[in-house]
Structure 1
């Protein structure tokens, strides 16, 4: 969610319009907060610190210099900083100040300009030149950029008119400006790790891997982590988006701790639901005796929406299967 701050009554009126249209929060000085139905802020420094930690985007209604000074102590990295946009109180000029691509500031600036009838002052080189922007393309498709240096090299190569290749394991159409022909530098859309199809390959990893996990009662989190790391060998860990298991394990402390540590949701299925999963699975008479179904990890991963990529791997009382969601 975006957080909007305004400093005058005129700015607050524009801020109210933008907040309603963008489903954002509005913050103004206490003396006229009730007039526009906004939240009051105590200090610009305090508001900025809080919004920086909690909001996806910060929109300043006022002079760009105010925004620049407010955010300066917090700026760290284009891949983690929120979008920051400034718009004057008349809505004439909308300036994406920070995180134009990855954070979406350019897109937000264009939305604001459309609402105010103003001009978005987008200045990023690939946009100005109408070229493919790898960070925007990846963000729009919920993919992880695995190498920041190579991402910058790709933008630089395109600006210099050099060929940049493209390969997708999922059948993505080749984006305009890239090539399926020969190139030393290129983009590979894949779940996999390792050597790519180009001399210098930027891997874009979709967030679509599912971990199916089974374990003995009382298995520690670190034991589960080790088993997962081994099963994921050759695949991008940042692509993992969910963990799945049988409902008998929904309160398993080690498993819950693993999910919490990696910010992964846990999907649970009954034995009857797992039994309905379609496919060929690795059976275990012991598991069937304990749980009522012959396989937990593979079946759970399939029930969560994946196709098995790595079949059941067993290590220290933990079983792990890796499945991938359909991307296109």
Structure 2
């Protein structure tokens, strides 16, 4: 299916509501019982079914990211129970009562986006949204969504449930933020006193806490992992920019090996790479493009004049002779990241040159309102 949502109805009033919703809520396919057909379904792309709706739910689960079901909550719970798999795979499921008074987030409220979908559908229908997720009700950090809007990636998810419990039970929470966006507290109230922000792992390890949220692009040392992730979740913000230079025809394998080995040596996570950057002459360099496709990195391109606007410590006349720029990897990394200095100015091995810069964000004191 090309649309993300499916709306399902089995009653006269439900069908009327679903038709109105499908007409005004983009990205929604509509399914209802054939006995309520009006003759315009083929033209509108609505899908009819006969028999129990339970028969089509397994296919809808696989085909859509969100299901909007206009059936009683109890019936929906019984029907979806046998087909549930995992909170990281199951689609969002929301339920609407037959009079359209309440829109209820039922399944995958955070990771699947059911809470957000509930709010959007309720607004479209003029209904009351019902969300029972503890972090949303209390207005605190949703552990499984923390930093998601910034593109942060959760590396260690196994402790998400106990850490979430610690957060909503107002136990002592250490937020260790060494990198990444700092404006993650979006509520119109101060950060609660049981949540403390530390700028480095060492600071947190000297304090007492019950659970931790660790935001870093570093590879943690064994003692840091033991202390912070015993009851903690590790997040990888997208903070690293790779400036890349290479000879024409360099293989993807050589470029990738250079990137991985360099990051490993610097104790940096490949999951925190935001993008790669290079000179426009490399726009068709297949080896580099292949690596970017593999890791889903955007490749930013700069003209020689744009690269020459970045002051370099070691400009190269040789590079200028062949490219028109006094450097490629170093200025590309700084220009793309907005940083004033490199984590790694330049390293050359074989046919590849790499520079690494970290995207700057306001200091931790900016967290909050």
Larger radius of gyration: 2
| Contact 2:41/2:47, CA 8 A, preserved across alignment | no
| Contact 2:61/2:90, CA 8 A, preserved across alignment | no
CA distance in 1, matches of 2:256, 2:48: 44
1:186 to 198, 212, 217: 212
Deviates more, 1:302-311 or 1:249-258: 302-311
1:318 to 340, 352, 359: 352
2:245 alignment partner in structure 1: 214
CA distance in 1, matches of 2:302, 2:57: 47
CA distance in 2, matches of 1:115, 1:27: 16
CA distance in 1, matches of 2:39, 2:62: 18
CA distance in 2, matches of 1:215, 1:81: 43
1:155 alignment partner in structure 2: 164
| Contact 2:182/2:361, CA 8 A, preserved across alignment | no
1:294 to 320, 326, 331: 326
| Contact 1:41/1:47, CA 8 A, preserved across alignment | no
| Contact 1:94/1:120, CA 8 A, preserved across alignment | yes
1:259 alignment partner in structure 2: 292
1:133 alignment partner in structure 2: 142
2:283 alignment partner in structure 1: 250
CA distance in 1, matches of 2:273, 2:19: 39
| Contact 2:19/2:30, CA 8 A, preserved across alignment | no
Q: Secondary structure at the match of 1:210?
A: strand
CA distance in 1, matches of 2:236, 2:253: 25
Deviates more, 1:204-213 or 1:9-18: 9-18
Correspondence 1:38-49 to 2 at 5 A: 38-41=44-47, 44=56, 48=60
How many aligned residue pairs are there?
323
CA distance in 2, matches of 1:89, 1:241: 46
| Contact 1:212/1:297, CA 8 A, preserved across alignment | yes
2:88 to 79, 85, 91: 79
Q: Secondary structure at the match of 1:232?
A: helix
Unaligned runs of 5+ in 2: 50-55, 186-190, 198-206, 363-369
1:11 to 10, 14, 18: 14
| Contact 1:281/1:299, CA 8 A, preserved across alignment | no
1:199 alignment partner in structure 2: 227
> Structure 1 pair 45/301, CA: closer, same or farther in 2 (3 Å)?
same
CA displacement at 1:229 relative to structure 2: 0.7
CA distance in 1, matches of 2:213, 2:303: 41
CA displacement at 1:251 relative to structure 2: 0.7
CA displacement at 1:114 relative to structure 2: 3.8
CA displacement at 1:221 relative to structure 2: 0.9
CA displacement at 1:15 relative to structure 2: 3.2
CA distance in 2, matches of 1:42, 1:247: 52
CA displacement at 1:139 relative to structure 2: 1.8
Q: Secondary structure at the match of 2:40?
A: helix
CA distance in 1, matches of 2:85, 2:247: 42
| Contact 1:183/1:198, CA 8 A, preserved across alignment | no
| Contact 1:311/1:322, CA 8 A, preserved across alignment | yes
CA distance in 2, matches of 1:28, 1:281: 64
| Contact 2:31/2:48, CA 8 A, preserved across alignment | no
Q: Secondary structure at the match of 2:103?
A: strand
| Contact 2:166/2:210, CA 8 A, preserved across alignment | no
Deviates more, 1:266-275 or 1:96-105: 96-105
| Contact 1:165/1:179, CA 8 A, preserved across alignment | yes
Unaligned runs of 5+ in 1: none
1:269 to 302, 307, 311: 302
2:52 alignment partner in structure 1: none
